[in-house]
Amino acid sequence: MSKSIIFGYARISTMKQRIERQIDNIKREYPGAVIITEEYTGTTTDRPKWNKLVEQIKKEYVKGTEVTLVFDEVSRMSRNAKEGFEDYKMLYDMGVNLVFLKERHIDTDNFRQALQSKVAMTGTDVDIILSAVNEYMMKLAERQIEIAFQTAQAEVDYLHQRTSEGVRKAQAAGKQIGRAKGSKVETKKAIEAKKQIQKHSKDFGGNLSDVDCMKLIGLARNTFYKYKREMKAE
């Protein structure tokens, strides 16, 4: 009996998206799936975890392992339609079972069934027509997969367009979008450290020298003085 493994791939591209929803959907259908998560912003197209997963799948293929790869929806598989269709065909040729929970009609099992539904040859001149019919059926199945990826990309492009329009409209109305130039976001660690500096440092009415204050709070010298400079500038 050959070994089998199920992977689930979840991906988000903005901070507003919730990757937990994808994971929950995959786990609901495939409780034993090994979940791979990928988070990246619109400023980069790198997908190191996806690339690593594909390499692992290739190794499993060599070992004869039956691999199932599950996505919440087709748009999670790729950044664009061309790339998605190429990845689909590559994994299909390796025998990977691709599952799209929201687009089950393009699961590789359905694609394989379509290709296996070829009309049997007769050994006569009619085979010329039957061969053309079989070729048409294969192209039709491939086209369905291409359409799914193109539709997913169109939806993403539309959302990006609406977001850009909303930003431009808000800017025209004088609203601040994102952080103001020169502003900074402090971490919880920095905020807490500054509270301790405010409480204990002699420069702010406390009783400790800089060295003792650094030891008490557990800060590196450069970080400590950086925080002090920022506090005095505020």
Residue range 86-110, pLDDT digits in tens: 888 889 888 899 999 988 888 888 7
pLDDT at 168 over 70: no
Please count the other Cβ atoms lying within 10 Å of the Cβ belonging to residue 11. Answer: 22
pLDDT at 30 over 70: yes
Contact 10, 54 (CB under 8 A): no
Query: What are the helix (H) ranges across 15-107?
Result: 19-29, 48-63, 81-93
Contact 61, 94 (CB under 8 A): yes
Give the domain ranges of the chain.
4-152, 188-233
pLDDT confidence bin for 16, thresholds 50/70/90: low
Separation of alpha carbons 70 and 30, rounded Å: 8
Separation of alpha carbons 233 and 222, rounded Å: 17
- What per-residue confidence (pLDDT) applies to 23? 94
Residue range 39-60, pLDDT digits in tens: 864 544 578 899 999 999 999 9
Separation of alpha carbons 140 and 138, rounded Å: 5
Fold of 4-152: Rossmann fold (3.40.50)
pLDDT at 178 over 70: no
Sheet order of strands, 34-39 included? 34-39, 4-12, 66-71, 97-100
pLDDT at 144 over 70: no
- pTM score, whole prediction: 0.56
